[in-house]
Chain A
Amino acid sequence: MAINFDDVKNIWVYAEQRHGKLMNVALELIGEGYRLSREMPEGTKVCGVLIGAEEDVKPLEAELFAYGADEVYTLASPLLKNYTTDGYTKVLFDAIEDIKPEIVIFGATHIGRDLAPRVAARLNTGLTADCTRLDIDMNNYINFLEAKTTCNTKGLTPDDPKKALLKQTRPAFGGNLMATIITPRTRPTMSTVRPGVMKKREKDESLTGTAIDVKVNLTEADIRTQVVEVVKAAKELVSLTDAEIICSGGRGLGGPEGFNLIREFAEKVGGVVGSSRAAVDAGWIDHSHQVGQTGTTVKPKIYFACGISGAIQHLAGMQTSDCIVAINKDPDAPIFEVADYGIVGDLYKVIPQIIAEWDNADALLAAAQK
């Protein structure tokens, strides 16, 4: 299938909604799409794409505009009330073929990672998985490589022939390796993007844009799965590997009761409880919580190490966390060598203060910036 690159334009964001509520990642991607569109040829727009039952999706158009969408395409049908691979793939594929976006991005949710590969395969185009960074501008990309990675940038110049391509950066091999993927010959370029990585724009209710209803061509026979029910679980026990925040306690807790404080802390911040091996060996907590070489390897957004010295075997399991906060009363504890934020203090005194102030963080920042 030959594509005329002159025909494609704009960035589409699949604005995933569930039961009439937008997923956070949809707004994050509108923000990212907005940023990228302004680095592309003038007039490039960021467009939200809503799919669902009319009563669920129509009210969401205004929200997408308020977060920066220039246009919103709405694909509505009673048959789209629940997410189904077949139904959503068909209508999105038809719309992409018809309207020809240049780039289509999805949140890497359980639904985005089901829908995007199927659509990309039907379009015979490339799909990059679970991206944590997107670049158009070559200078920004080179700066990123130089500041944050070991990549040799020799030969990369702002006039690189690939400069107009979307550069999609993602972790692979369990986070040990990063790769930047390009889609040079087919359109649209498609990617799924990890939730929580991109930044929303400030909400501005005065913003509006163009809302476009796309006629969908879908019959019951197109959908081969039947969604019997969608069940929301009471917050399931999240595993350490999936956790965005981990609060770990070590021998510094001094006894099994110490984990009561760690549990309270984890509950407050929406995290999962981890531990060092010393705490497990002492019988204070089950091995399933152990982080490290002989425990679980984790890479949360925030890792709180409380009363953990930072032995090499512990570091092996948490060193690549996005942000490490260490609380330890010994200023020379090795954990401080890897901590982004080190607090020298008694965990029994500091953690209750963090719990007390956690919900005020916005106000604290505002006060600090005055």
Chain B
Amino acid sequence: MAYKIIVCAKQVPDTNEIKTNPETGTLIRDGVPSILNNDDANALEEALKIKDAFPGTTITVITMGPPQATEMLQECLAMGADDAILLSDRALGGSDTWATSNAISAGIAKVGEYDIIFAGRQAIDGDTAQVGPQIAEKLGIPQVSYVKEFAIDGNEITVKRALEDGYELIKLQTPCLLTAIKELNTPRYMYIKGIYKAMKHDIKVWNAADIGVDLTTVGLKASPTNVFKSFTPKPKGAGQKVAGDTDKELAVNLLVGLKEKNII
């Protein structure tokens, strides 16, 4: 059996490298590298493993973003994806998760048939973890989020869904959407032949008209959530030294302080 797989991937700034300007409360993005979102690399890796096991399987990576997101798509092709689509249009800019999922699900509908959609659980910039489930809702398909183990047999998928204190073992049928967490696998590197292939590959770029999305459901203006203010936490000054003459007094005074402030 061969499968048709779609992977949703986002290009994100490496948030480990980001600095903030406390004066203006803004991010300093200069010189911060853009990367394939971490969980999305796990999403793509799982698709590639299926392709390894079931030759004939095809993987299409889809992203919504500015033109430079093609760099990330090229990386996905070099890892082994078969096709890549960039949804790019000013009309899509400023979308919240509701509007983002409207655009991406319209893009997926244009791609056509699929058995499995993989997304990452969470993007490291927006940090909402909402887009995966919301795409599934727009497409009317079942979802499992926080997937940490995956197996497929014909049309039946068995996954482990991570919980805070264990996991759920879940069975479902294709088509469906799964969101990947880092425990799912270890992403592979690009390979030389893949890089060469990726350079020659045409990345499809679709605008809002191409995907036929209703313009009243995408972009900043259509988004139900708005950023009202954004800022950085005040850098904290030195705290207090704990008083006490003996080691026991020091320990007791620390615990009283932590308890008083509801920290423990």
Chain B residues lying within 8 Å of A341, measured Cβ to Cβ, are 239-242, 254, 257-258
Chain B residues lying within 8 Å of A148, measured Cβ to Cβ, are 233-234
Cβ of B233 to closest chain A Cβ, rounded Å: 6
CB-based contact A109/B164 at 8 Å: yes
Instruction: Given the known inter-chain contacts A121-B138, A124-B98, A225-B172, please indicate yes or no for A174 contacting B15, CB distance below 8 A.
Output: yes
Chain A residues lying within 8 Å of B68, measured Cβ to Cβ, are none
Determine whether B127 belongs to the interface, using a CB cutoff of 8 Å to chain A.
yes
CB-based contact A344/B231 at 8 Å: no
Chain A residues lying within 8 Å of B176, measured Cβ to Cβ, are 224
Determine whether A362 belongs to the interface, using a CB cutoff of 8 Å to chain B.
yes
Instruction: Given the known inter-chain contacts A126-B98, A126-B225, A177-B20, please indicate yes or no for A364 contacting B236, CB distance below 8 A.
Output: no
Chain B residues lying within 8 Å of A149, measured Cβ to Cβ, are 25, 231-234
Of all chain A residues, the one with the shortest Cβ separation from B133 is: A117
Against B, the Cβ 8 Å flags (1 = close, 0 = not) of A131-165 are 00000000000000101111110000000001000
Chain B residues lying within 8 Å of A324, measured Cβ to Cβ, are 239
Chain B residues lying within 8 Å of A180, measured Cβ to Cβ, are 227-230
Determine whether A120 belongs to the interface, using a CB cutoff of 8 Å to chain B.
yes
CB-based contact A150/B167 at 8 Å: no
Q: Among the listed B15, B142, B163, which residue makes an inter-chain contact with A176, where contact means beta carbons less than 8 Å apart?
A: B15
CB contact list, A168-188 vs B, under 8 A: 170-174, 176-186
CB-based contact A129/B255 at 8 Å: no
CB-based contact B251/A350 at 8 Å: yes
Q: Among the listed A86, A126, A183, A360, which residue makes an inter-chain contact with B142, where contact means beta carbons less than 8 Å apart?
A: A86
CB-based contact B255/A354 at 8 Å: yes
Chain B residues lying within 8 Å of A226, measured Cβ to Cβ, are 170-172
Determine whether A46 belongs to the interface, using a CB cutoff of 8 Å to chain B.
no
Determine whether A221 belongs to the interface, using a CB cutoff of 8 Å to chain B.
no
CB-based contact A173/B134 at 8 Å: no
Interface residues on A, range: 35 or more
Determine whether A35 belongs to the interface, using a CB cutoff of 8 Å to chain B.
no
Determine whether A2 belongs to the interface, using a CB cutoff of 8 Å to chain B.
no
Interface residues on B, range: 35 or more
CB-based contact A151/B231 at 8 Å: yes
Instruction: Given the known inter-chain contacts A110-B164, A349-B247, please indicate yes or no for A225 contacting B136, CB distance below 8 A.
Output: no
Determine whether B151 belongs to the interface, using a CB cutoff of 8 Å to chain A.
no
Determine whether A260 belongs to the interface, using a CB cutoff of 8 Å to chain B.
no
Chain B residues lying within 8 Å of A211, measured Cβ to Cβ, are none
Chain A residues lying within 8 Å of B241, measured Cβ to Cβ, are 331, 336, 341-344
Determine whether B27 belongs to the interface, using a CB cutoff of 8 Å to chain A.
yes
Chain A residues lying within 8 Å of B126, measured Cβ to Cβ, are 129, 172
Instruction: Given the known inter-chain contacts A162-B228, A345-B247, A353-B248, please indicate yes or no for A231 contacting B136, CB distance below 8 A.
Output: no
Q: Within the assembled complex, what's the spacing in Å between the Cα atoms of A39 and B242?
A: 37
CB-based contact A343/B242 at 8 Å: yes
CB-based contact B258/A120 at 8 Å: no
Q: Among the listed A82, A176, A183, A342, which residue makes an inter-chain contact with B225, where contact means beta carbons less than 8 Å apart?
A: A183
Q: Within the assembled complex, what's the spacing in Å between the Cα atoms of A129 and B98?
A: 12
Q: Among the listed A184, A186, A231, A302, which residue makes an inter-chain contact with B264, where contact means beta carbons less than 8 Å apart?
A: A302
Q: Among the listed B232, B238, B255, which residue makes an inter-chain contact with A339, where contact means beta carbons less than 8 Å apart?
A: B238
Determine whether A85 belongs to the interface, using a CB cutoff of 8 Å to chain B.
yes
CB-based contact A230/B127 at 8 Å: no
Chain B residues lying within 8 Å of A89, measured Cβ to Cβ, are 137
CB-based contact B252/A364 at 8 Å: yes
Determine whether A229 belongs to the interface, using a CB cutoff of 8 Å to chain B.
yes
Chain B residues lying within 8 Å of A213, measured Cβ to Cβ, are none
Chain A residues lying within 8 Å of B142, measured Cβ to Cβ, are 85-86, 224-225
B residues contacting A by CB (< 8 A) are 13, 15-16, 18-20, 22-25, 27, 96-98, 101, 124-134, 136-138, 142-146, 158, 161-173, 176, 223-234, 236, 238-242, 244, 247-248, 250-252, 254-264
16 A-B residue pairs with Cβ-Cβ distance under 8 Å, sorted by A, are: A114-B143, A120-B98, A127-B130, A129-B130, A130-B128, A181-B225, A185-B224, A224-B172, A225-B170, A230-B169, A338-B236, A340-B239, A341-B258, A343-B244, A364-B255, A365-B259
A residues contacting B by CB (< 8 A) are 82-83, 85-86, 89, 109-111, 113-114, 116-118, 120-122, 124-130, 145, 147-152, 162, 167, 170-174, 176-186, 199, 224-233, 235-236, 269, 297, 301-302, 320, 322-325, 331, 336-346, 349-350, 353-354, 356-358, 360-362, 364-365, 368
Q: Return the 9 tightest CB-CB contacts between A and B, nearest first.
A: A126-B224, A353-B251, A151-B231, A340-B239, A126-B225, A174-B15, A129-B128, A121-B137, A117-B130
Known contacts A120-B130, A173-B124; 10 further A-B pairs (Cβ under 8 A): A117-B130, A118-B143, A149-B232, A227-B168, A227-B169, A230-B169, A231-B168, A339-B238, A341-B242, A356-B251
